[in-house]
Amino acid sequence: MSEVAWPDHMDALDQGWEPGQHASVIAPTGEGKSWILRHLLELWTADKVLVVDNKGDDELWRRGDFLTVHSFPTWWQQSQQRRRGREWYHLVTPDPMQPGGWQKAREVVAQALRSAYRQGDWVIVLDETRAVTDRRHPGLGLDGYTDAIWLRGRSRRVTLIAATQAPRWVPSSFYDQPRRHWIGFVQDARARKRLEEIGGNTDQLLVTIDQLQEHQFAYVTRRQMYVVKAPEWMPLTLQQLERAQQQAGAR
């Protein structure tokens, strides 16, 4: 299995991505899921991005172009974000373990998903898919919403990026059509079984995953597969991204 440098990987994505194409990022904690998500968002420079975060403790979402909110949207938040040039929201959900928190969290996230889908032209990131889709407490049981967006979002130019620690928490509908997947090392047998639903050469995929090193991912579509390592640098604003590109070009 060939390895591809991250800049070449991003160039290939830039040439082939269109609004409404979805993606999954699957890897254990600490392997670089959030870094990849940030790079994808900088590449897919949509004006409207919604990150649904059930933890609220990831530094990557608390700075840069994101506006942290606890409900979505309100008129003043939209106005403030437009003055910054983008509507990039970091939605921190209420703690479902607190009294009344589960129902409130479910209402907040459901409203956000409905609103983004109806408006169209949004990129939606589920920072932990299980927290949104799992029907067992404290999961919010909103798999019907995510399924609908995944299956019909393309017509509304809505991109859904599902990030999780294991494939079994990614709803099966997410594998039904050609998608983009970044998959880190997966050890759990039930999780590995779920990879069979991605399609393509499953045996080669499992062999590739077994050989992955730290922070490496198998990039998989139904037409291609190769290994890429999560990048070491992380631009947090367009200005930082432009500076990094200029520095790279000057070398």
Over residues 24-52, the mean pLDDT reads 84
* Per-residue pLDDT tens over the stretch 137-193: 899 999 999 999 988 998 999 999 989 887 777 777 776 655 788 998 887 777 777
Over residues 223-232, the mean pLDDT reads 84
Peptide bond connecting 138 to the previous residue in cis, omega within 30 degrees of 0: yes
pLDDT recorded at residue 47: 82
> 231-242: b or e for each residue (b if 16 or more CB lie within 10 Å)?
beebbeeeeebe
Q: Is the pLDDT of residue 235 over 60?
A: no
Number of separate domains in the chain: 1
* Per-residue pLDDT tens over the stretch 187-226: 777 777 777 666 555 678 888 888 898 889 999 887 788 9
Angle, alpha carbons 36-39-42 (nearest 5°): 150
pLDDT recorded at residue 132: 94
The CATH number of residue 65's host domain is 3.40.50.300
Higher-pLDDT residue of 242, 44: 44
Hey, what are 33's tokens?
């899921």
Q: Is the pLDDT of residue 249 over 60?
A: no
pLDDT over 90, % of the chain:
27
* Per-residue pLDDT tens over the stretch 70-118: 888 776 666 666 655 678 889 999 999 899 999 999 999 999 999 999 9
Over residues 36-45, the mean pLDDT reads 81
Average pLDDT value over all residues in the chain: 81
* Per-residue pLDDT tens over the stretch 49-78: 999 998 877 777 876 678 888 888 776 666
Q: 42: domain range?
A: 3-250
pLDDT recorded at residue 142: 95
Spell out where the chain has E strands.
Answer: 3-4, 23-26, 48-53, 67-69, 87-92, 123-126, 159-164, 180-183, 216-220, 225-229
